[in-house]
C-alpha cells in the first residue's frame, strides 16, 4: 500500500536528515560546506523556515527546523538542491543525483525532545569519531549555542531562550547540557522517528497532533482487529513510512 504523505506541521519543529547517494561524500572541502550553508540560509529566509540546529557531516546532514507553512520545508530543500547539486557536479566532474532519495523528516515534540534533538544533531561528529569535542567541529550550530560564534543560519527557538534570562545564562546552561552523552535509547528514538517519519513525543502530543492534522501519526497495530471492532470501520492498515 502507498506510503502516507510526509507529515509537515506549521510552527512545529521538525528533524530532517538528507544523505548522499550510496553514502558517498556530499561535502569534500571547506568551500563545499560554506557554499551549502549560504544557500541554506538564503532558502530558509526565502521560504520562511527557522533553522534551530544543524550539522553538515561528510556524507549526510541533519537540520532542526520550524516551517511557517506546510510547503516551506520541501521548497527550502528543493531550492538548496537546485543550487548545490549543479555546483558540486561541475566542481567534481560528476553527473546525476547527489541525494539518497528524498530527505527524511519527523515532527518533534518541542517540550520533550527539542533540546534532546539539538544535542543529538550537534554531537553527531563526536559519535562518528571525527572530533573529541563538539566545539572542534566547525560545521554545526554548536558554537552558536554556547556563544562562541554567532551563526546567521540559526534562529533561536523559545525552548533555547527558556534556558536562562540572559545570553550568558543560556549559553552556560546549553554548554552544561552538552557535557553528557545521549542515552542509546534517545539516539535510537531520534534516528528511527526521522527515518520512518512518525512524530516523536509524548502520547498527549501525538493525540493532539492526530486531531490537528486528521490523520494517523503512529504505525498501525499489526495483526487481526479485535473482535469488538466495528465491521464497517474505515481504518485500513498502512505500511510504515
Residues recorded for the chain:
241
pLDDT digits over 86-127, tens only? 999 999 999 999 999 999 999 999 998 999 999 999 999 999
Here the CATH number for the domain that contains residue 111 is 3.30.70.1290
- The x, y and z cell numbers of residue 93, run together, are 566532474
pTM score: 0.86
In a domain, 191, yes or no: yes
In a domain, 230, yes or no: no
Tell the residue number behind the cell numbers 498501525, with chain if given: 220
- Low-confidence winner among 122-126, 167-171, 206-210 (lowest mean pLDDT): 206-210
Q: Can you give the residue range of the structural domain that contains 60?
A: 14-204
Which helix (H) or strand (E) covers residue 82, if one does?
helix 72-91
In a domain, 27, yes or no: yes
* pLDDT score for 199: 86
Structural domains in the chain (count): 1
In a domain, 165, yes or no: yes
Cα gap 14→105, rounded to integer Å: 6
pLDDT digits over 50-80, tens only? 999 999 999 999 999 999 999 999 999 999 9
The three-state secondary structure class of 25 is coil
Q: What Cα–Cα distance (Å) separates residue 53 from each residue in 50, 57, 112, 139? A: 9, 13, 16, 11
In a domain, 211, yes or no: no
In a domain, 231, yes or no: no
Cα gap 126→131, rounded to integer Å: 5
CB 109 within 8 A of CB 101: no
In a domain, 220, yes or no: no
* pLDDT score for 165: 95
In a domain, 216, yes or no: no
Amino acid at each position: 500500500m502507498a506510503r502516507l504523505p510526509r507529515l509537515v506541521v506549521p510552527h512545529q519543529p521538525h528533524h530532517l536528515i538528507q544523505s548522499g547517494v550510496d553514502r558517498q561524500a556530499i561535502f569534500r572541502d571547506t568551500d563545499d560546506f560554506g557554499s551549502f550553508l549560504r544557500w541554506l540560509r538564503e532558502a530558509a529566509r526565502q521560504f520562511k523556515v527557522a533553522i534551530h540546529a544543524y550539522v553538515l557531516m561528510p556524507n549526510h546532514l541533519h537540520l532542526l527546523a520550524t516551517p511557517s507553512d506546510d510547503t516551506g520545508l520541501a521548497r527550502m530543500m528543493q531550492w538548496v538542491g537546485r543550487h548545490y547539486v549543479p555546483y558540486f557536479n561541475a566542481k567534481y566532474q560528476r553527473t546525476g543525483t547527489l541525494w539518497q532519495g528524498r530527505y527524511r523528516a519527523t515532527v518533534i515534540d518541542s517540550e520533550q525532545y527539542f533540546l534532546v534533538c539539538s544535542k543529538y544533531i550537534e554531537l553527531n561528529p563526536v559519535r562518528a569519531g571525527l572530533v573529541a569535542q563538539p566545539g572542534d567541529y566547525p560545521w554545526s550550530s554548536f558554537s552558536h549555542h554556547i556563544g562562541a560564534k554567532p551563526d546567521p543560519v540559526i534562529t533561536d527557538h523559545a525552548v533555547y531562550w527558556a534556558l536562562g534570562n540572559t545570553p550568558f545564562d543560556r549559553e552556560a546552561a546549553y554548554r552544561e547540557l552538552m557535557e553528557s552523552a545521549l542515552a542509546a535509547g534517545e539516539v535510537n528514538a531520534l534516528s528511527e522517528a526521522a527515518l520512518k517519519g512518525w512524530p516523536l513525543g509524548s502520547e498527549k502530543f501525538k493525540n493532539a497532533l492526530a486531531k490537528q492534522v486528521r490523520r494517523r501519526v503512529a504505525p498501525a497495530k499489526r495483526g487481526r482487529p479485535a473482535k469488538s471492532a466495528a465491521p464497517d470501520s474505515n481504518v485500513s492498515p498502512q505500511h510504515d513510512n
